Structure 1
Amino acid sequence: MSAAASPPVPAGAELVRIEPSTLPGWSRDDQRVVLRLFAKGCQTDPPLRQGIAQPEGLTRACAAAATLLAAGEPDLATARAFFESHFDFWRVRLPGAGTGFMTGYFEPEFEGSLTPSPAFPTPLYGRPPELVTKMPGDDWPGLDPDLSAAKRGADGLEPFAARAAIEDGALDGRGLEILFLRDPVDRFVLQVQGSGRVRLQDGSVIRLVYAGRNGHPYTSLGRELSRRESIPPAQMTMDRLVARLKADAGFARELIALNRSFVFFARRDDLPPESGPIGAAGLPLTPLRSIAVDRSVWPYGMPAWIDAEIPDGEGSSEAIARLVLAQDTGSAILGPSRLDLFVGSGSAAGHRAGLIRHPVALTVLWPRGQGR
């Protein structure tokens, strides 16, 4: 095997270059699915959430995929050869266990209203105009380095209101409300997932996409509930967390307030009903083919190979070995082999996504000849 420039990886992670033929399932996967996604571009300009710069080789590979697809639908051998010829394959290993960790997420759907009422009192807010998102390389002296966003005031940047202050009315009266949900638990789930559908009383559906967050660090409520009620972490699913919150409104308010992070949304009325939600890269997500990664480590548009055994949502498990595409990110997705797998839309997808907390073997595909 000839020498190749490896992708950038934080200290403590090990990269091992491998041949694609050694990947279990590589010869059985349908790489045409990801090739079609890849041909649509690495990201929009600008993406919904800014990540690290894309290597030039990745941009060129996206363009090459578009050229290939323009000539007609390729056969499976051609699609497989495209990735083998444009990328080097690097297995990501961590000290100790060696494998990474994967969770699942989904696009939820809730009932809602365009106007507040006793049935729908909980507002969703659009992005406040004074909110400033911290970009890679930004230096904000005097502010907590853990803040990822801030408020631009008359005297410069200052911390934006945390969740408790917003829920107490810090944004009221400014016309930022875009929709109203039944309760704070529905809003919390929507904010964790980062996108969703809201079904109005007339049956129409409004699509929502991520528009920013207040910049305060994310706190896992599942982890906190596990600690408080001595629930083994492996048993703390999203379904269980939501059921506990729905059962006690006072407890829900108190627990949700521990997560100081607060997400804002925007309507996307142009999205067709059959389209997946829009990820941080600005492109639609595809069930079981789109992943969220740490945007400070891996670029959007990067292909990767995952190998894991995950719940099928029906009481059994499924071995999943396939090519995927980095198209999203998340506040809790931190580290070189921490992934979030997009499972789909609706309640069944949500049930399955909440069960996924499993080891994963990650192999990243890095543009051939593209160094650090």
Structure 2
Amino acid sequence: MAGTMSAAETETTYEILDFADLDGWAGDDHAAALKVFAETCGDMNAPDWTSLCAVARETDDARDFFELFFRPVLISDGQDGLFTGYFEPELDGSEVPSQQFRYPIYRMPVEANETRPWLTRREILTSGVMEGRDLEIAWVDDPVELFFLQIQGSGRIRLPDGRHLRVGYGGANGQPYNSIGQELVRRGTFEAHQVSAERIKDWVRTNPLEGEELLYHNDSYVFFREVNEVPADRGPLGAMNRSITPMRSIAVDPAFIPLGAPVWIEKDGAEPMRRLMIAQDTGSAIKGAQRADIFFGTGDTAGQRAGEIKDTGRLLVLLPIQRAYALLPESVL
């Protein structure tokens, strides 16, 4: 069954499918997905979600639970499906500055909240406005990794004594985000298909003066807060303020997909993926009904895997039965 609804710029369509239409559905680990769903479904306030959450915590047959109470809905907004990956960076750092650890991770100053937009990245880092105010959470040894920590929005700092300090998004300066990858393509340094996070990092380190100027090209600057409520062995906090799970949590556009909802993904590419995920996060670049960012985990290995993902496919949100059918116009029912 399919239905349509007018949107501001394009038409959004809804199609209810059967579970038999989901490629690879029978082979997935539904119990793993159910465990992740149960970790955040209690934060979904609508009565239908609340009731299903109570059932989820009592069920002993995960696949039957999803098939009995949900319907897969394909939501289309005219854009092709696109899957990317993200991860939680892990940087080497210290709680005190030194010759090795010279690059501060800053808390958000009060005036950055009060004045929008605030200073640019260049002004924040070169004007001295941040100095002597006890705004530093920690210091790290690599300004390039710190730049990419800001893009990811959260990360772990590996301290010299073996402890870990976790930081999360604490706000931004309100300036526009300018892609340094796109800037390198515009300059002719790379072709578009050559650009990746690792290649950008290598180029900046190989060309330190030009690299520093390249980082300043992005006026946006992200501040952090220390995240003490999450144990070091668990994932970072997502948009639902709960830990997210590697390979089971995705970031979506909440304008189309409710946070906390199960989402079936069929990702193509070099590493095809057919898996039930839970929509527990968002991202500034994650816009559209068929757009998702897959959380790969923490550290360099997860970062390398996440950076290789830019694949086509489709995703279907699993909605409670009545909620799913309510999306269709009466003429279709």
Same-fold call, TM > 0.5? Answer: yes
Aligned mates of 1:204, 1:102 — CA distance in 2:
33
- Correspondence for 1:120: 101
**Unpaired runs of at least 5, structure 1:** 45-53, 132-150, 311-316
**Range with bigger deviation, 10-19 or 218-227:** 10-19
Q: Residue 199 of structure 1 contacts residue 205 of structure 1 at CA under 8 Å; is this kept in 2?
A: yes
Alignment partner of 1:61 is 2:60: no
Q: Residue 40 of structure 2 contacts residue 240 of structure 2 at CA under 8 Å; is this kept in 1?
A: no
One of 41, 66, 80 as aligned partner of 1:99: 80
TM-score of the pair, normalised by structure 1: 0.79
Aligned mates of 2:222, 2:232 — CA distance in 1:
23
* Cα pair distance change 1:63/1:186, threshold 3 Å: farther
* Cα pair distance change 1:187/1:262, threshold 3 Å: same
Aligned mates of 1:218, 1:32 — CA distance in 2:
39
Alignment partner of 1:344 is 2:297: yes
* Cα pair distance change 1:87/1:212, threshold 3 Å: farther
**Unpaired runs of at least 5, structure 2:** 328-333
How many positions carry a matched residue from both structures? 324
* Cα pair distance change 1:159/1:277, threshold 3 Å: same
Alignment partner of 1:79 is 2:78: no
Aligned mates of 1:79, 1:4 — CA distance in 2:
29
Q: Residue 126 of structure 1 contacts residue 264 of structure 1 at CA under 8 Å; is this kept in 2?
A: yes
Q: Residue 250 of structure 2 contacts residue 293 of structure 2 at CA under 8 Å; is this kept in 1?
A: yes
Classify the secondary structure of the residue corresponding to 2:75.
strand
Query: 1:128-163 deviations in whole A, cap 9, x for unaligned?
Result: 3455xxxxxxxxxxxxxxxxxxx32xxxx5422222
Aligned mates of 1:235, 1:15 — CA distance in 2:
36
- Correspondence for 1:30: 29
Aligned mates of 1:233, 1:66 — CA distance in 2:
48
- Correspondence for 2:19: 20
Q: Residue 218 of structure 1 contacts residue 331 of structure 1 at CA under 8 Å; is this kept in 2?
A: no
Aligned mates of 1:366, 1:10 — CA distance in 2:
25
- Correspondence for 2:279: 326
Classify the secondary structure of the residue corresponding to 1:206.
strand
Alignment partner of 1:178 is 2:137: yes
Q: How much has 1:261 moved relative to structure 2?
A: 1.7
One of 118, 125, 146 as aligned partner of 1:167: 125
Q: Residue 266 of structure 2 contacts residue 313 of structure 2 at CA under 8 Å; is this kept in 1?
A: yes
* Cα pair distance change 1:216/1:352, threshold 3 Å: same
Aligned mates of 1:308, 1:40 — CA distance in 2:
24
Q: Residue 191 of structure 1 contacts residue 262 of structure 1 at CA under 8 Å; is this kept in 2?
A: yes
Q: How much has 1:90 moved relative to structure 2?
A: 1.6
Query: 1:311-341 deviations in whole A, cap 9, x for unaligned?
Result: xxxxxx3220111111111122222222111
Aligned mates of 1:6, 1:362 — CA distance in 2:
19
Q: How much has 1:303 moved relative to structure 2?
A: 1.5
Query: 1:70-114 deviations in whole A, cap 9, x for unaligned?
Result: x4x61xxx312222333332223353xx63111111111111111
Aligned mates of 2:63, 2:118 — CA distance in 1:
47
Alignment of 1:201-212 (within 5 A): 201-212=160-171
Over the matched positions of the two proteins, sequence identity in percent amounts to 39
Classify the secondary structure of the residue corresponding to 2:26.
coil
Alignment of 1:307-322 (within 5 A): 307-310=266-269, 317-322=270-275
- Correspondence for 1:137: none
Q: Residue 94 of structure 1 contacts residue 100 of structure 1 at CA under 8 Å; is this kept in 2?
A: no
Alignment partner of 1:192 is 2:151: yes
Query: 1:176-213 deviations in whole A, cap 9, x for unaligned?
Result: 11011123211111111111111112222111122222
Q: Residue 211 of structure 1 contacts residue 266 of structure 1 at CA under 8 Å; is this kept in 2?
A: yes
Return the structure number with greater helix share: 2
